[in-house]
Structure 1
Amino acid sequence: MSYAAHDLALDALRRAAPEQRNGAPNHAPMVVEALAALGREDAVRKWIERAAPRLAESPQAESALGPDWQPRLGDYARLGEWQNLFRRELEALAWRGVLERWLPRLVPGSMAAGTHGIIRCAHAARALENAVTPPRLTELAAALAYCAARYRAIEGTPVLAGPLTLEAASAQLPLLEPGTDRRGPPPKVVERLNERPDFAWAVSRLAQPSDPLSALGELAEIGARLYLRDADHHPPVLLHAVTGPAAVHSLAEQVSPALRSTLFAYMWQAVAAWAAAFSSGLSNEQWEPTDETWDEIIDLAVASGDDHAIKLTEACRRMEGLRASASFRAAASDWVHRVVDTRDWSSERLVAAGIRTRLSDGKRAVAMG
């Protein structure tokens, strides 16, 4: 991977808030890192220029949270104080030590901002694995702060002590009723699962995997299949059932084996929630492999400029290298072509087609993220 333009981009983004002006997550640091991983840093500057008008300025704070941080989880008004806390932590400890300390505290809230907090942490950690630089440490602090400030847990600790394989457990998840109102931010829809005791029970039916890294690869493949089956209904939501496990796989490579099991358990819970809330269930349907090459898909994703097209393509290509499955390339190709084929559609038409999700204020429509 070449990160020649990566740090310059992070410097340009250092004052950007973790959420855009319209309230959607700010994907810019994640996209910049994904472009570096794809070997397409040539596209970074142009992408940042296009994204800049959507970005908001991050709130600043003079103080940092102290030992009483726990009641502040989920308090977005304290974002600046969270950022200062993690900057201080990263000055005192090596970055992997900070992850080892804080991920067990933060990963139960992985549904924060639709799993984007934990995904952003993974992109930041992979950049630090390449080289430790001040902009990359600042980015990890910002990513961890976003996890903390938007912390939202799904009820029920995912204690995996059941008899089922990942395939079987995924196929047996209880689904929200077809007539459920799924308008508004997807994490709000997921909250309805807290009223369903059968959901927590179904999550716990999974057996603890002997190899969490391998299980995360299998979970990403299941996510790709969930996406493909319901790509005509909720594609921007379900693609996170791929990018989430792919990101946590990258993150898990940087931490202890014991923490890997915890990361897997909560990512399984998050993917199960996406599936239960937005999919029609996992099937054994076989997907036709695309004849497009990865280079063709990457070129199209970069040309589209779409945040998710770039991130999903990077995640699917990487996971296919770890777990051979036609579903990964098919999912990446499907989303990229949906973005390109609908680029001239109105917001209303995109919402009606499920390609965008309307914000809760009912006034604006933005891609889920």
Structure 2
Amino acid sequence: MGDIFVLDEALGRLHATGPERLGRLTNHAPMAVEALASRGHGPAVHRWLDLYEDKLEDFPARTRPVTEADWREALGDPRRVADWVDFFGRQTAERPWRDVLAEWWPRLLPGMYGGSTHPVIRVGHAVRALTEHGETAPRLAELAHGLGYWAARHHPVTGVAPLAGAPTAREALDRVPALDEPTGGFPDRLARVTGLPVWPSEDIGPDRADRARERLEELVRAATHRYATHGHGDPTMLVHAATAPNAVLRTLPALPRPLWAPSLHAAWTASAAVTAMYAPSAPVSYRAPGGVTPEEVFERALAHGDEHVIKFTDTALDVGTEDALAAALRAIELSEPLT
């Protein structure tokens, strides 16, 4: 049985579980198993799920159906997550999934900061499975679960002043001001982000889709590389500075080109905000052991088992540079293993 068909089995197993546990912590299993299957580690998927199983909760209760007429009142209401998943399940059953994504992406994009950016990351993994491996019922259902989670946790960012920017993504991330009081959870910290550098400084409108993609690639690369020297600020949360924009990057090919530029700008805000919220007091130097192949790095991530490490290493392999592999090894070093 191929790795990607093991993914379908795993998704079927996971769709009886909710997108969160304890009312706030994200279920990372659908994202992690997609990464494992896509990287050729299908035989490890169910073993990994067995280890992660204690972090899963039952699918939440339904309230009332979300409809085309009243969806706005349900947007951003986490109590309606089951209703939203049902809504997108109907949508993807009735229409091509790309049409559903194109309609809802601009509606959801302003609120990609809810759920600690995990909903858009889940959607990015679902889209990769669909675009690279084809449509199956479990993969379509996974997209519905991801979009439903995003709609339920939809949370826009407002009141962020534009600060002096920089020509490159790395320099712009270096200019992000850290919070004066880096305490509290993600929503509390996000509310205290009051200013972020402008990046990119050039005008990238809807008619410059290819340039938007190039700049988004640059952002993912910069955020991934930067983890090696800054990840100790919060080894878990700082991976999202790279994995959230990479989820957007993975989704671009399935979106109409006029949506690529606004996707870049939303991804920058997410990456910069996470950088501000969890910045260390100072960077550290880090030199990774040389001669390690991408396949060996991913095998080490799998052996470590932490869901954030697996997803970050998956992004690092997308970037494909030696510095990205070093950042993945740093994440393995800093993070608590799954036991």
TM-score above 0.5: yes
The structure 1 residue matched to 2:151, chosen from 145, 148, 151, is 148
Taking structure 1 as reference, are residues 282 and 144 closer, same or farther at Cα in structure 2, changes over 3 Å only? farther
Query: What TM-score does the superposition give when structure 1 sets the normalisation length?
Result: 0.82
Distance 2:317 2:166 in 1: 31
Contact 1:125 1:251 in 2 (8 A): yes
Distance 1:57 1:217 in 2: 37
Aligned pairs for 1:1-369 within 5 A: 2-21=3-22, 23-61=24-62, 63-66=64-67, 67-129=69-131, 130-155=133-158, 164-177=167-180, 180-183=181-184, 185-193=185-193, 196=194, 198-199=195-196, 202-203=197-198, 206-209=201-204, 210=208, 211-279=211-279, 288=287, 290-291=289-290, 292-320=292-320, 325-339=321-335
Taking structure 1 as reference, are residues 304 and 173 closer, same or farther at Cα in structure 2, changes over 3 Å only? closer
Taking structure 1 as reference, are residues 337 and 98 closer, same or farther at Cα in structure 2, changes over 3 Å only? same
Taking structure 1 as reference, are residues 118 and 144 closer, same or farther at Cα in structure 2, changes over 3 Å only? same
CA RMSD in angstroms, aligned pairs only: 2.7
Taking structure 1 as reference, are residues 158 and 43 closer, same or farther at Cα in structure 2, changes over 3 Å only? farther
Which amino acid is the alignment partner of residue 323 of structure 2?
A: S
Distance 2:176 2:183 in 1: 18
Distance 1:231 1:239 in 2: 7
* Matched residue count: 330
Taking structure 1 as reference, are residues 208 and 165 closer, same or farther at Cα in structure 2, changes over 3 Å only? farther
The alignment partner of 1:122 has SS state of helix
Deviations 1:9-38 (A, max 9, x none): 111111100012473100111111000111
Distance 1:163 1:45 in 2: 45
Contact 1:65 1:85 in 2 (8 A): yes
Residue 360 of structure 1 aligns with which residue? none
Contact 1:166 1:206 in 2 (8 A): no
The alignment partner of 1:239 has SS state of helix
After superposing the two structures, state which structure 1 stretch, 245-254 or 218-227, moved more. 218-227
Please state how far the C-alpha of 1:332 moved relative to its aligned partner. 0.4
The alignment partner of 1:16 has SS state of coil
Which amino acid is the alignment partner of residue 77 of structure 1?
A: R
Residue 365 of structure 1 aligns with which residue? none
Contact 1:287 1:327 in 2 (8 A): no
Query: What TM-score does the superposition give when structure 2 sets the normalisation length?
Result: 0.88
Contact 1:19 1:25 in 2 (8 A): yes
Unmatched segments (≥5 aa) in structure 1: 345-369
Deviations 1:323-351 (A, max 9, x none): xx4321111011112336x779xxxxxxx
Residue 357 of structure 1 aligns with which residue? none
Please state how far the C-alpha of 1:42 moved relative to its aligned partner. 0.8
The alignment partner of 2:233 has SS state of coil
Contact 2:199 2:268 in 1 (8 A): no
Contact 2:63 2:80 in 1 (8 A): no
Which amino acid is the alignment partner of residue 186 of structure 1?
A: F
After superposing the two structures, state which structure 1 stretch, 237-246 or 114-123, moved more. 237-246
Please state how far the C-alpha of 1:308 moved relative to its aligned partner. 1.1
